[in-house]
Amino acid sequence: MLHPVAVTEPVRPTDLTGPGWALVDNGAVTAGGRGDALVMLNHDEIARRAEHGLGAVTNYALLGALLNLPLATPVRMRTLSVHDMVILGEAPPGVIDVDEAGWVTRRLAAPLTVAAAVVEGTGWRNITRRAARFLPFCQQIALFPCAPRGFSSVAWEASFAGIGVWIRDGEDITEAVCARPYVRRFWKAAGWEFQEIAYREHLKATRPAVLSGGPAGRRARTMRAAFDPRQLSLL
């Protein structure tokens, strides 16, 4: 299954413990906002990265350059811009393959899909502001410890805004208002980075020994040599 997956149905509380799903503490991160991330894991990509010792790739510039390459389809390096070649030359192992004939193939795919950001609190106005920050990326869920005051008004506003409302009932969580499904119209570097940050937090909780891949200072010398414009001019 190619990620990010189009989650066409509202997420439900049962997804919190459903097969293939995971709730990542503090996994939903955007400018000025943070919440838990309800994700669908891409087990094939996670296993592939593990073979290369590759964790989360959160380098925004690298992700942007990778979006100019189709997944698993060779592209002539000389057709790329110098800017992209320089950035791809810094890619850690497991991100791309380069052959001696001057072809580059993107191997990196999204390791998961963030289906929803779950924001927990008590004040409806506060939760609304926090949840709204995730509108460009996924569904939004407001999780209350109990039914808020004036719940009928809250439910109407939530339904209008497309924000799901879940309420804790002891150890159980019930759905009061379903979330509006998220429609991804574009796949850009910011959206990919959002998924990678969630994966980074997932790794912190499940495999802390795995290092993040692709920070600004990490370099792969073999890739850099392969993308030397002087060498490409000979191909």
pLDDT tens by residue, 156-169 = 989 999 999 999 98
Using only C-alpha atoms, what is the Rg of the chain?
Answer: 20
Q: Which of 145, 135, 133, 53 is nearest to 94 (CA)?
A: 53
pLDDT tens by residue, 61-103 = 999 999 999 999 999 999 999 999 999 999 999 999 999 999 9
Domain, as residue range, for 26? 1-235
Q: Which of 180, 179, 185, 38 is nearest to 112 (CA)?
A: 38
What pLDDT sits at residue 217? 37
Count Cβ atoms below 10 Å from residue 9 Cβ, excluding itself.
11
The total of structural domains in the chain comes to 1
The mean predicted confidence, pLDDT, of the chain is: 89
8 A C-beta contact, residue 195 and residue 41: no
pLDDT tens by residue, 32-45 = 889 999 999 999 99
